[in-house]
Structure 1
Amino acid sequence: MKRFDSAAGIMRTAQRVLAGGLLMALVAACSLEPQYKRPDMGVPSAFKETPEALQHEGTWKAAQPSDALERGQWWTIFGDETLNKLEEQARAANPDLKAAAARVRQSRASLDVARSAWFPELDAGFGPTRERLSPASQGLPQNADVPPMTLWRAQATASYEADLFGRVGSNVSAARADSQQSEALYRSVQLALQADVAATYFALRELDTEQDLFSRTVALREEGVKLVQRRFDEGEVSELDLSQAKNSLASAQADAVGVARQRAAAEHSLAILLGKLPSDFSFAQQPLVPVTAKVPPGLPSALLERRPDIAAAERAMAAANARVGLARSAFFPKLDITGAFGYESAGLGELFMWSSRTFLLGPFAGTALSLPIFDGGRRKAQLTQAHAQYDEDVAQYRSQVLTAFREVEDSLSDLRLLDDQIHAQNDAVDAAKRAQHLSQTQYREGQISYLDVLDSERSVLAAERQASQLTGAQAESTVSLIRALGGGWGDMSAPKAIDLVDSDSSGTSKVTKQ
């Protein structure tokens, strides 16, 4: 009979443990995190400024767009080997990109910290404790003599917080979204760097074109001064013509120096983007070749997933949404499970004897299950703060989307109008050159003054310089469009890891995959 009662007791105990475990599992599965949904945005069916010629054809083929897709080396569409080398140098040495890569590693480490809460924490310790217990703790009179004692301990402890009401899960979800946001921001910094290198490179080459133009203009005006000087010496023209010719030459030389100053500043900017000291970098003069690459904008709906800055804003919303659940869980009970097992003795020699063993199951102080009752409104304020943070991130996401569409439309309109402007400017250059040729002929025949010749030369210089600047603007607008669209894309699969450019303690660049 006793055996039957004992067995029945064991069964009842097992049932209680099982029931308690099932109850804990159900409570742990009950997450208070709101269901996350990305806000709907009114996306047009097509970009307003898309040129008709680009609506059905282009250099790139649009695949299934996503922020996680590998962008590839989009700058190679320009077919410029010098630019290709500069982009690789910037990727390997730019300090801003290295800082962004370090932030990604920090966020991944923070995610690992949050995930560690899924597992129990184990510790081991060894050492003596010198203590004197009070008479009351030993059931003795108040004035009883309780001598101090040394107690040696060697024990292992384990602690674990049960994931009640999704407290741990919400924290992990928030950390995961933070990590994904950091990776998206890394891609955004990388894209910005690539675009800045390309834009600065084209601006530098446009200034090289202007320098070449001024070199030819100065040489032409030097010949003009010689011609007027010869005619002045022969008494055919007055000193006024000679003074005007010399003034025109000096003005062209001064303007050439101004362009050289702008070029030096652009060269220094490019050096910084490449992670180099300006004193250690020089760029050979290389006039700009007109950019002929045509970039189809694709579908507006793809822009929301292709732009890394939009993806970062969306991940910030997801993190804020998870933190709302974390703030809600603070209103519900919290369960901390602790335990310890080891040895205790008054002497070191008897410490590891089996009779010296000790164990503890439950909290060292207080209770295992704690229920919040009153905190002066702290938890309520934290929940309000979490909701407000989520609302702020939603507004920032919408603003980021609107900005992205504006940047695409701006770049498309720039390219469309620049084509017309460049064609008109080329006609103006041809007309100015024709007028210059006629004025020089008429001047040699004595039909007009040298002032008319100078006017025609200034018109040619202004027209050619404007044409050069429009060609540079076209190249930079093409880069701006690619950047606004989120970089290059094509038939590429999502990468398994982000390539992070890192450097070791010696400063040597290396690439890590995480």
Structure 2
Amino acid sequence: MIAARFHLCALALLLGGCAAVATDLPEAQIAPPESYRADLPPAGMDGVWWRAFSDPVLDALVDRGLAANLDIAAAEGRLAAAEALLRAERADRLPTIDGSAEASVDVGEGTSRTGASAGLFGTFDPDFSGRLRAEVRAAAARYAEAGYIRADQRRLIAAAIAAQYVEYRRTGAQLELLAESTDLQRQTLRIVTLRFEAGLSANLDVRRAAADLAQTEARLGLIEIARAQAAHALAILVGEAPGTLVIAEPESETTIPNYGDGPPLGGPANLLRRRGDVLAAEARLAAAAAQVGIEQSDLRPSLVVPGSIIIGDGSINGLFSEFLATLGAALDLPLFDGGRRRAEVAAARAELDASLAEYRQAFLEALGEAETALVAITAYRARAGSLSEAIEQSETALGQSNALYREGLASLFDVLDAQRQLISSRESLLDNEAALANAFIALHSAAASPDGEAVAASAGGAPPPQ
């Protein structure tokens, strides 16, 4: 016995013109300036920006961080998950087919009856409402966002490693400067003590000199704490436990890395093309636009085509003597829901407006970071000249005050004040050198200069939403 039944809804013929229209991205209205307001530093090298420091130790640390940092690893995992979800959304546009099989034995009053059946069951959604296409576009945008976030993590980690390395070097230089300052103050204390023992100075002078020396020595612990913090931060950034990272000693341990000519920055428009967080905000905007399309699809009719094929029989000897095939069409017509669907569309459009604002804000923040870094570079360079002049004058003043003190023509207060001015100026110049290096780091991080891996590649080659 072979039976076949077909159920086909005639209203499906009315759906030919119901294909959804994709929701277009709103006009971003981002018009970046043609150039930065501040002057750009000279550019003389291509490649990754941190190599302009000409510090092999820093190069090795950044390479290790980009390969082993756990935040980057987490971003890579989320990128893989987003790619899998995109494949899943695309698969929903294909027919689904499942199979089943069963066998039975009925026993009663000395007789038995066996039976078996097998079947295939499937459904197909022709996507008349456009929902599946919108869901694919949303998943593709989220995949692109995950890739851009991964690229942005690489940008942030490279900058963080460079900044912590500068701090590590700064604290090393501070320790040497502290040693020089304490030696200078010990010499003054010896002179004052000899004058006191010779009856040429009061005991008050000895106590003042000793107090200045103790105050300087008290800074040792604070510098060691800061140095340990920088070393531990570097260890975490390269994926190691704090205290286990061995940082190679550079050729000049106590100096701040000097930035040379790095790669060209380009103009502000490059922020829209190269900065991972700005590109991620743009991808979120695309996902929000796709979500509007998803909600709009609920306002249109949808059609699902189910079907099945079953073969079997009531007895084992007559297995597969029966065949049953069905094909149907289930039409869903939205009629009345109290305004819920349209409210959901309105909510999606509001989220789209919010995503647009966030995209613009991301660009403005990136532009602000770059402009601030450019101003800082100019200011710190100018300040370095003034501090160098202050050091030179303080050294001269200290020498003169020491000579006058020995002759009894100046007080110990004049000597100690000259010492403090010299120590302060030296520390300020050291801090200024570190701040200048950090300004270059901030500039290239803000401008998203090439880091050895193109943003498109970092995004996993994410395709445009389809």
TM-score past 0.5 threshold: yes
Cα distance change of structure 1 residues 370 and 440 upon mapping to structure 2, 3 Å threshold: same
Contact 1:271 1:278 in 2 (8 A): yes
The answer for the alignment partner of 1:401 in structure 2 is 363
CA distance in 2, matches of 1:268, 1:129: 68
In the alignment, structure 1 residue 42 sits paired with structure 2 residue 31: yes
Deviation at 1:327, TM superposition (A): 1.2
User: Could you tell me which amino acid in structure 1 is paired with residue 274 of structure 2?
Assistant: R
Higher RCO (C-alpha under 8 Å, 6+ residues apart):
2
Q: Deviations over 1:159-208 (max 9, x none)?
A: 11112142211111111011001111111111111111111111221121
* 1:390 equivalent in structure 2: 352
In the other structure, the counterpart of 1:374 is 336
Provide the C-alpha distance between the structure 2 equivalents of 1:385 and 1:495, rounded to a whole number of angstroms.
32
SS of 1:47's partner is: coil
Which of residues 396, 416, 430 is equivalent to 2:378? Answer: 416
Spell out the pairing of 1:100-499 with structure 2 (5 A cutoff): 100-128=75-103, 152-283=116-247, 286-294=253-261, 296-351=264-319, 353=320, 355-362=321-328, 368-488=330-450
Deviates more, 1:396-405 or 1:337-346: 337-346
Give the match's secondary structure for 1:380: helix
The structure 1 segments of at least 4 consecutive aligned residues displaced by more than 3 Å after TM superposition are 20-24, 128-131, 149-152, 282-285, 294-297, 347-351, 492-500
* Paired residues of 1:32 and 1:329 also in contact (CA < 8 A): no
The answer on whether the counterparts of 2:55 and 2:257 sit within 8 Å (CA) in structure 1 is no
Distance 1:338 1:278 in 2: 59
- Cα 1:287–1:168, aligned 2, differ >3 Å: closer, same or farther? same
TM-score, with length taken from structure 2: 0.88
Deviation at 1:493, TM superposition (A): 7.3
Supply the distance in 2 between the matched residues of 1:446 and 1:81 (Cα, whole angstroms).
53
1:33 is matched by which residue type in structure 2? A
Indicate how the Cα distance of structure 1 residues 79 and 460 shifts in structure 2: closer, same or farther if over 3 A, else same. same
Q: Is the 8 A contact 2:377 2:439 kept in 1?
A: yes
Query: Mind listing any 5+ residue stretches in structure 1 that lack a counterpart?
Result: 1-16, 62-71, 132-148, 501-514
Taking only the aligned residue pairs, the percentage that are identical comes to: 28
Q: Hey, what's the Cα distance between the residues in 1 that align with 2:457 and 2:416?
A: 64
Report the TM-score, using the length of structure 1 for normalisation.
Answer: 0.80
Match of 1:400, as an amino acid? A
Distance in 2 (CA, whole Å) between partners of 1:498 and 1:384 is 31
Contact persistence 2:129–2:298 (CA under 8 A): no
Partner of residue 140, structure 1? none
Question: What's the CA shift for 1:80?
Answer: 0.8
Q: 2:57, 2:433 → 1: CA distance?
A: 18
2-structure distance, mates of 1:440, 1:398: 61
SS across alignment from 2:36: coil
Secondary structure in structure 2 of the residue aligned to 1:163: coil
Mapped contact 1:206–1:472 kept (Cα < 8 A): yes
The 1:489–1:266 alpha-carbon spacing in structure 2 relative to 1, beyond 3 Å, is closer
Query: Where do 5+ consecutive residues of structure 2 fail to align?
Result: 1-7, 107-112, 462-466
User: Counterparts of 1:393 and 1:130 in 2: how far apart (Å)?
Assistant: 62
The 3-state SS of whatever aligns with 2:32 is coil
Q: Secondary structure at the match of 1:419?
A: helix
Shift of 1:376: 3.0
Q: Which residue type is aligned with residue 357 of structure 1?
A: F
Name the SS for the 1:118 alignment partner: coil
Shift of 1:255: 1.6
Q: Distance in 2 between matches of 1:159 and 1:477?
A: 60
State how far apart, in whole Å, the 2-side matches of 1:42 and 1:186 are.
26
CA distance in 1, matches of 2:286, 2:456: 22
**How many residues get paired?**
444
Instruction: Report deviation, 1:282.
Output: 4.8
Partners of 2:352 and 2:333 in 1: CA distance: 27
> In 2, distance between residues paired with 1:493 and 1:243?
63
Assess if the C-alpha contact under 8 Å between 2:176 and 2:254 holds in 1: yes
Deviation at 1:489, TM superposition (A): 6.5
Tell me the distance in 2 between the aligned counterparts of 1:284 and 1:218: 27
Distance in 1 separating the partners of 2:437 and 2:446: 14
